[in-house]
Amino acid sequence: MALVLQRPKLSLAEKFYLPAVIGGLMLTIKHFFKSVGGKTETMQYPEQKWDDKLPEWYRGAPTLVTDEWGRERCVSCQLCEFICPPRAITITPEEIPNADPWAKVEKRPKEFEIDMIRCIYCGLCEEVCPEQAIFLRKDYAITGYSRAEMKHDKAKLYELGGVMPGVINKWNEKK
């Protein structure tokens, strides 16, 4: 059955526009006075922040973490470098010398750079990491005065990441 839509019959007041316009004006002036009274939706950024309301799964800046024993968890497998869509990660691997207590881990990053101008905060590096060494933490205001400053090196990444206890420690059994 064909559905026949009835065109709405406008009343005289509706045809004149003006009552509707006045209704609209009343609505906006209500919002105006509400805002003048101080009730706005704006959060004044540098003074007020979201920080304590960020969810657990928030994807901020990618960082490197150490475990409870101070070992850098990254083994320089370079999976994150390969999966990174904007190619923001550059890793220079290095062999761990035999004298080191963690010599059996064999590899560690000599240099680990994330170009924060390129990073898109997608979280694929965290997802792909077999060692749970790279995590997206909650820092979102990454700024700098130069391109060089925006390139996070290894020291900066560990400083941001800190210690991440309570994840898998598969290397401990083979100590």
Sheet of 151-152: strand order equals 89-95, 107-115, 151-152
- Identify residues 8-27 at the interface with other proteins (CB under 8 A): 18, 21, 24-25, 27
Q: Which stretch binds other proteins (CB under 8 A): 1-9, 29-37, 78-86, 141-149?
A: 29-37
Contact 126, 167 (CB under 8 A): no
Name every residue whose Cβ is closer than 8 Å to that of residue 122 and which is 6 or more positions away in sequence: 59, 85
Q: How far is the CB of 157 from other proteins (least distance, A)?
A: 34
Q: Does 42 bind other proteins (CB under 8 A)?
A: yes
Binding residues for other proteins restricted to 78-107, rule: CB under 8 A: none
* x/- letters, 136..175, toward other proteins (CB under 8 A): ----------------------------------------
Distance between CA 61 and CA 21 in Å, rounded? 49
When binding is defined by CB under 8 A, the residue of 6, 11, 28, 146 that contacts other proteins is 28
Q: Which of 93, 75, 64 is nearest to 174 (CA)?
A: 75
Q: What share of the chain is helix, strand, coil (3-state, %, to 5)?
A: 30, 15, 55
Interface with other proteins (CB under 8 A), residue from 40, 159, 162, 165: 40
The count of residues interacting with other proteins (CB under 8 A) is 17
Quote the DSSP letter at residue 62. Answer: E
Tokens 């370079």: give the residue. 78
* Contact residues for other proteins, defined by CB under 8 A: 18, 21, 24-25, 27-29, 31-32, 34-36, 39-42, 44
